[in-house]
Amino acid sequence: MKRDPIAPTLRSMARGQLPIAHTTLDELPLSMRTRYFRRLLISANVLPEIDVFLNELELALAQVLTTIPEEHARLIRRYHQWHTLPRLRNRPKPMTTGVFANRMRNVRLIAAFLAWLQEQHLQLPMVDQAVIDRYSASTSGRDELRQFLTWAARSGLCVKVEVPRVRNGPPQAAMSDEALAELTGRVLADVALSPVGRLLALFAIVYAQPIRSSVELRARGGGTA
């Protein structure tokens, strides 16, 4: 923390030249160092407890909105204020870095959608199902777009439309290599399993494929292990 701009801010706060407040830290660049500094002051009871990532979300959103057309910024700001923010504030636990990153990604996805509408010489009130189908065919992030358009329709900003859902792929193995190796070893050593059962279990473990898909694959192969 001996490097700028945190060190001068700390000195100015100590000398009474800047208020000892979160608003002072809000003027610093968003970074891990600033976050650490803020949490250090909170843990020392110098600053009151706040949801650090929620505070950073507000600051980051304000920065992003300065980079897009004002009309789009007003719409996203309104969506954030009346839809996203109340839900985040009602969370039982403080925001995590993952939620923060996801929220910022969603803001950029909505901004991209509004920019696309502008390129097509369209505005939000002109959006209909055909427009959504055309946009959805060439982009991801449909879940957040669905939430945004649902909110917009309820707010009278556009007609109600259906955003196509993305079919989820097979689940991914949520375990370490060591745990995966141990589980695989137990399956190989289990004499109670038939050769077919052992093969399907290994396929499900290693490739995180649902058993139903494994059975369908075996059926299409027309044979047994």
Cα distance between residue 158 and residue 19, in whole Å: 45
> How many C-beta atoms lie closer than 10 Å to residue 136's C-beta?
20
Dihedral sign of CA atoms 166, 170, 175, 178 in order: negative
> What is the full DSSP assignment across 207-223?
H---HHHHHHHHHHHT-
Phi, psi of 221 (to 5 degrees): -70, -25
Tell me how far CA of residue 95 lies from CA of 10, 42, 55, 63, in angstroms: 26, 16, 9, 19
pLDDT of residue 207: 56
pTM: 0.67
Q: What is the CA radius of gyration of the chain?
A: 25
pLDDT of residue 166: 61
pLDDT tens per residue across all 225 residues of the chain: 445 688 899 889 999 999 999 999 999 999 999 999 999 999 999 999 999 999 999 999 999 999 999 999 999 999 999 999 998 988 888 999 899 999 999 999 999 999 999 999 999 999 999 999 989 887 766 777 889 999 999 999 999 998 877 655 444 445 555 666 666 677 677 767 677 666 666 666 655 544 444 444 444 444 444
